[in-house]
Chain A
Amino acid sequence: MSATMTPNVNTPGDFQAKDYKSDLKPIWCPGCGDYSVVQGIYRALAAIGRPPHEIAFISGIGCSSRIPGYTTAYGFNTVHGRALPIAQGIKLANPDLLVLAAGGDGDGFSIGGGHIAHLIRRNIDITYIVMDNQIYGLTKGQLSPTSQKGRTTCTSPHGSLENPVNPLLYVLAYGAGFVAQASPTDLVGMAAIIEEAIRYPGFAFVNIQSPCVTYGEEAQQIKGLKAISETLESLGHDPSDRLAAMNLAQNYGTKLNLGVFYRNPEPAPTYDGLVRERQAQLSQGAPSKERILDLFIKK
């Protein structure tokens, strides 16, 4: 199967954004930020030019996790919080595939929060896109792990007592090789960031502030997001400086810094790459699997 695959290079003109758009009609609320995100993904994939059948797009559960169904790639809408473990199994089974994972802030940082650290430390070559709207939308407006402290929701009627998770600091602290943030307020910039994340050889994380028009606060709608946006480029940020990235990541929740926070200038080897090396090394002169029981012969 790998023989039929094209390498991960840009072949402009082979595919257009619409080639990645499926026939399914999204069930998101009108005006939802995720409409922009999926557009950004179509554009990024077209720029990369891998045919849809060589792409596996995995998600958990929630509004945003519907997204694989809206692409023409192989999709897997799995169970709540478990997109990453499943995505890594796919990548390890067939490292030739382009593997994307996506989900929301609840899916990624609450129920599935334990997995991110481990994909990062293994450095599996997967791009993980989180549509962060700071609320549980599909279950109708409960507190999320990224909701601001004091936020009033149906599960925090007197205001939340919890501090939010900072997704950017979280993944930077675990040592992710590529960390970026994008916003539907800038579709072109978002597509470019997703493209760069996919091209990064290793685990790449993109946090996208995606407004929830139904349960989101006013400050998190397009107008509010625009008001707090500033590009990292305009701040003169050097994306190879991890400590500077961590410093800027602390703006999460007050400023919307857009762009690449960190890109490891010397990407570390990936787990999937090392698996291939090990397979090549250990398969040299290995007995056929039909003779595997010979291991149990005692002489």
Chain B
Amino acid sequence: MRKDLVFGMAGSGGDGIVSAGDSLLQAASAEGYHGVMTKSFGSQIRGGESSCRVRISTDPVLNPGGNLDVAVALNWEDFLKFGAELPVAGTTVVIYEAATGVPENQIPLVGVTPLQVIAVPIAEMAKTHAGTERAKNTVVLGLIAGWFGIGAVAVMKGISKKLAKKSQELVAANQKAFDAGMAFAKEHPLKADMTILPLEDKGGVKLLTDGNDMCAAAAIFAGCQFFGGYPITPSTEIMQFFTNHVWKYGGAVLQAEDEIAGIGAAVGASFAGKKAMTATSGPGLSLKSEMMGLASIAELPLVIVDVQRGGPSTGLPTKTEQSDLFAAAFSAHGDVIRPVLAPTSVADTFRTTIEAFNIAEYYQTPVIILSDQEIASRKETLDPIDTTQFKIIDRLRPTGADLQDYKRFKQTENHISPISHPGMLGGTYLASGIEHVESGAPTNSGSVHARMNDKRTKKFDPLKERRDLFEITGNPDAPLALVAWGSVAGVCREALQMAREQGLDVKLMVPYLLYPVAEQTYRDFFASVQKGLVVEQSHLAQTFKVLRMHLDLPKGLQSLARSGANPFLPGEIVAALHHLLAELQRSHEGKLQPQE
């Protein structure tokens, strides 16, 4: 019996691989398991290859897992395109379509001998039992139910619900395909028991959603009433969620003619006094950068979501990377600080998004949420969230006294000035991208410019002091350390657990606030560190470099960075930590040598 199983499935577009993964995760969730699903596609609409990865566990899951426990290949050509996303190891059971004609001892996986390899006539079974090869994915779900004990009842319940709208015959045909898969599994038992541990306590209601929907829902919860955007993979679902729901709460959505108009409309809505948001991915972020500068100097609250994909330019549009940190933190001209936050999972996207709105409103500034394709499109089961625990912050409005002689950009002790909006009697002012005096009137005075730059940058000092935007786990005095953010943080949380079980004294820092760099928080964290890794999916090691730009890092801190989209595996991070420990021990031994 297993506590945790990782499935990887691949086939051609139209094979229903992603829909099978969806059904599997929903069924597991209905049975009380925790789970996460990621999808990966070639960059095409129909045809081509598609894959998904489903991890199901009795305990909450922190990432999509490492090597596969179960690999399902509907054909080898497509499966092999996902070599890094779907890594097969000596512990993997490989199930594949018998019609590929590949003998079980000659499957095209180089340098690996799987635990077991089984050819199944999936297409033939679908045709025989359901009358159509389109039921291949249902046969696969039957095989999974039979061999691994997941979803024997719940899968068919879900499928029936979906297909009942079409026809009862379709439901019956799929039931036969599912049963045939189950029966095949029973007739061909696995060498090892790989059934999942049954749950005694289902643990109550669970939510099942992805990062994009969670982000949009959190924004609405935080009081966002305007969304302006332009479709771009992989962020579009955020706009879609808004178009479905925000009207109910008095809000509006604009699918603009381009990225610039999308953020422009959001800037306008914020000027008009409403909480506003836009969402995009790398290329769109580049187009929005001039408007982000405008919102900074006009001191307007605004939330910009950048769902990172592989860059530069069109890059890897459907795959994940963490290479927009430079762009998020620095892509504007002039001296400006723009807070950047990153969620690490679907669940904490809720909190991070609310935090982004609160920071935007409090500091009157654009804030970037640096999500990534993996978090944005992965589905996760999560426990219900107590929404009453969240405090919602609104911008500081002028009072009657402020409005007597209103100065929009008034210098105050904390550099934050009350902000009026059209419709407010006594609050009229000129907002502008041009430098201005306290009233808003344009100026080209160098000394005013210096003072205003001071106001616009110093106001963020308290933000850098906030320790609650950092998660630190492990022994606080550990000599070994990991730093990771975004979806890579989930992998590192698991690596931390594994490393500690193997006796390594290691700690992990996960920043939710990436920029401005909270120097003192890092200094404190690094105080005990002799060796460590900054783990990130960026070829240039952007995080490592941004940290180095702002503070002196411990000599033993190294960068573990690589391009997307190939995921880090918890095991390789643990191996890297062992290597660091060995180096550390050698250097200590070196010190013990008598000096010549």
A-side residues, CB < 8 A to B, are 1-2, 4-5, 24, 51-56, 58, 61, 66, 68-69, 72-79, 82, 84-94, 96-97, 114-115, 117-118, 275, 278-279, 281-283, 286-287, 289-290, 292-293, 295-299
Does B271 lie within 8 Å of A90, measured CB to CB?
yes
Distance in angstroms from A50 CB to nearest chain B CB is 11
Task: Report if A78-B423 is in contact (Cβ < 8 Å); known contacts: A69-B441, A86-B267.
Answer: no
Q: What residue in chain B is nearest A274 (Cβ atoms)?
A: B252
Does B245 lie within 8 Å of A292, measured CB to CB?
yes
Please, how many angstroms separate the alpha-carbon atoms of A94 and B271 in the complex? 10
Please, how many angstroms separate the alpha-carbon atoms of A77 and B297 in the complex? 12
Does B422 lie within 8 Å of A77, measured CB to CB?
no
Distance in angstroms from B428 CB to nearest chain A CB is 5
Distance in angstroms from B354 CB to nearest chain A CB is 12
Q: Total A-B residue pairs with C-beta atoms closer than 8 Å?
A: 203
Cβ contact of B268, chosen from A55, A69, A86, cutoff 8 A = A86
Enumerate chain B residues within 8 angstroms of A84, measured Cβ to Cβ: 261, 264
Does A96 lie within 8 Å of B423, measured CB to CB?
yes
Does A93 lie within 8 Å of B226, measured CB to CB?
yes
Please, how many angstroms separate the alpha-carbon atoms of A9 and B422 in the complex? 18
Cβ contact of B248, chosen from A75, A77, A91, A282, cutoff 8 A = A282
Kindly state whether residue B81 has any CB partner on chain A within 8 Å.
no
Kindly state whether residue B315 has any CB partner on chain A within 8 Å.
no
Please, how many angstroms separate the alpha-carbon atoms of A86 and B387 in the complex? 33
Task: Report if A89-B426 is in contact (Cβ < 8 Å); known contacts: A115-B257, A283-B248, A286-B248.
Answer: no
Cβ contact of B26, chosen from A74, A283, A298, cutoff 8 A = A298
Enumerate chain A residues within 8 angstroms of B112, measured Cβ to Cβ: none
Please, how many angstroms separate the alpha-carbon atoms of A287 and B276 in the complex? 21
Does B272 lie within 8 Å of A56, measured CB to CB?
yes
Distance in angstroms from A128 CB to nearest chain B CB is 14
Task: Report if A89-B265 is in contact (Cβ < 8 Å); known contacts: A4-B425, A283-B247.
Answer: yes
Does B427 lie within 8 Å of A86, measured CB to CB?
no
Cβ contact of B423, chosen from A61, A68, A94, A286, cutoff 8 A = A94
Does A89 lie within 8 Å of B441, measured CB to CB?
no
**Can you report 24 residue pairs joining A to B where beta carbons are below 8 Å apart?**
A5-B423, A52-B428, A69-B430, A74-B428, A75-B430, A76-B271, A78-B432, A82-B291, A85-B262, A85-B268, A88-B265, A89-B270, A90-B268, A90-B272, A93-B226, A93-B268, A93-B274, A97-B422, A115-B261, A118-B256, A278-B247, A281-B247, A286-B248, A287-B248
Does B226 lie within 8 Å of A293, measured CB to CB?
no
Enumerate chain B residues within 8 angstroms of A292, measured Cβ to Cβ: 217, 220-221, 245
Distance in angstroms from B163 CB to nearest chain A CB is 17
Interface membership of chain B positions 114-134, coded 1 if the CB is closer than 8 angstroms to chain A and 0 otherwise: 000000000000000000000
Please, how many angstroms separate the alpha-carbon atoms of A68 and B245 in the complex? 35
Does B294 lie within 8 Å of A78, measured CB to CB?
yes
Q: What are the 6 closest A-B residue pairs judged by CB atoms, nearest first?
A: A89-B268, A85-B264, A89-B265, A286-B248, A93-B269, A93-B272
Please, how many angstroms separate the alpha-carbon atoms of A95 and B373 in the complex? 36
Does A114 lie within 8 Å of B265, measured CB to CB?
no
Does B29 lie within 8 Å of A298, measured CB to CB?
yes
Does B385 lie within 8 Å of A293, measured CB to CB?
yes
Please, how many angstroms separate the alpha-carbon atoms of A75 and B420 in the complex? 12
Task: Report if A118-B276 is in contact (Cβ < 8 Å); known contacts: A4-B423, A52-B428, A97-B423.
Answer: no
Distance in angstroms from B17 CB to nearest chain A CB is 20
Given contact pairs A86-B267, A298-B26, a sample of 4 additional A-B residue pairs in the complex whose CB atoms are under 8 Å apart: A69-B432, A75-B431, A78-B264, A293-B384
Does A296 lie within 8 Å of B213, measured CB to CB?
yes
Enumerate chain A residues within 8 angstroms of B257, measured Cβ to Cβ: 114-115, 117-118
Interface of A is mostly: helix
Enumerate chain B residues within 8 angstroms of A61, measured Cβ to Cβ: 433
Task: Report if A94-B422 is in contact (Cβ < 8 Å); known contacts: A75-B429, A79-B433, A296-B207.
Answer: yes
Does B221 lie within 8 Å of A89, measured CB to CB?
no
Please, how many angstroms separate the alpha-carbon atoms of A292 and B264 in the complex? 27
Kindly state whether residue B30 has any CB partner on chain A within 8 Å.
yes
Cβ contact of B432, chosen from A77, A118, A281, cutoff 8 A = A77
Q: What residue in chain B is nearest A283 (Cβ atoms)?
A: B248
Please, how many angstroms separate the alpha-carbon atoms of A268 and B226 in the complex? 24
Please provide the chain B residues from 17 to 41 with a CB less than 8 Å away from any CB of chain A in the complex. 26, 29-30
Most-contacted residue by chain A among B209, B268, B433 (CB, 10 A): B268
Please, how many angstroms separate the alpha-carbon atoms of A179 and B426 in the complex? 34
Interface membership of chain B positions 404-432, coded 1 if the CB is closer than 8 angstroms to chain A and 0 otherwise: 00000000000000000111111111111
Task: Report if A54-B423 is in contact (Cβ < 8 Å); known contacts: A90-B271, A90-B272.
Answer: yes
Enumerate chain A residues within 8 angstroms of B207, measured Cβ to Cβ: 293, 296-298
Enumerate chain B residues within 8 angstroms of A286, measured Cβ to Cβ: 248-249
Most-contacted residue by chain B among A5, A51, A296, A297 (CB, 10 A): A296
Does A54 lie within 8 Å of B422, measured CB to CB?
yes
Distance in angstroms from B474 CB to nearest chain A CB is 31
Cβ contact of B265, chosen from A56, A92, A117, cutoff 8 A = A92
Kindly state whether residue B279 has any CB partner on chain A within 8 Å.
no
Task: Report if A94-B272 is in contact (Cβ < 8 Å); known contacts: A1-B424, A56-B422.
Answer: yes
Does B265 lie within 8 Å of A85, measured CB to CB?
yes
Please, how many angstroms separate the alpha-carbon atoms of A200 and B271 in the complex? 24
Q: What residue in chain B is nearest A23 (Cβ atoms)?
A: B441
Kindly state whether residue B206 has any CB partner on chain A within 8 Å.
yes
Enumerate chain B residues within 8 angstroms of A287, measured Cβ to Cβ: 248
Enumerate chain B residues within 8 angstroms of A51, measured Cβ to Cβ: 425
Distance in angstroms from A108 CB to nearest chain B CB is 14
Does B291 lie within 8 Å of A92, measured CB to CB?
no
Please provide the chain B residues from 415 to 470 with a CB less than 8 Å away from any CB of chain A in the complex. 421-434, 441-442
Kindly state whether residue B208 has any CB partner on chain A within 8 Å.
yes
Please provide the chain B residues from 380 to 396 with a CB less than 8 Å away from any CB of chain A in the complex. 384-385, 387-388
Kindly state whether residue B352 has any CB partner on chain A within 8 Å.
no
Distance in angstroms from A291 CB to nearest chain B CB is 8
Distance in angstroms from A205 CB to nearest chain B CB is 17
Please, how many angstroms separate the alpha-carbon atoms of A1 and B426 in the complex? 13
Interface membership of chain B positions 285-321, coded 1 if the CB is closer than 8 angstroms to chain A and 0 otherwise: 0000011001000100000000000000000000000
Cβ contact of A88, chosen from B208, B268, B421, B432, cutoff 8 A = B268
Distance in angstroms from B2 CB to nearest chain A CB is 23
Q: What residue in chain A is nearest B205 (Cβ atoms)?
A: A297
Please, how many angstroms separate the alpha-carbon atoms of A68 and B442 in the complex? 12
Does A74 lie within 8 Å of B249, measured CB to CB?
no
Enumerate chain B residues within 8 angstroms of A281, measured Cβ to Cβ: 247
Please, how many angstroms separate the alpha-carbon atoms of A231 and B96 in the complex? 80
Enumerate chain A residues within 8 angstroms of B442, measured Cβ to Cβ: 24, 66, 69, 77
Does A89 lie within 8 Å of B264, measured CB to CB?
yes
Kindly state whether residue B254 has any CB partner on chain A within 8 Å.
yes
Please, how many angstroms separate the alpha-carbon atoms of A234 and B491 in the complex? 77
Kindly state whether residue B225 has any CB partner on chain A within 8 Å.
yes
Please, how many angstroms separate the alpha-carbon atoms of A236 and B273 in the complex? 46
Enumerate chain A residues within 8 angstroms of B220, measured Cβ to Cβ: 289, 292
Does B208 lie within 8 Å of A298, measured CB to CB?
yes
Q: What residue in chain B is nearest A54 (Cβ atoms)?
A: B423
Kindly state whether residue B42 has any CB partner on chain A within 8 Å.
no
Does B271 lie within 8 Å of A296, measured CB to CB?
no
Kindly state whether residue B258 has any CB partner on chain A within 8 Å.
yes
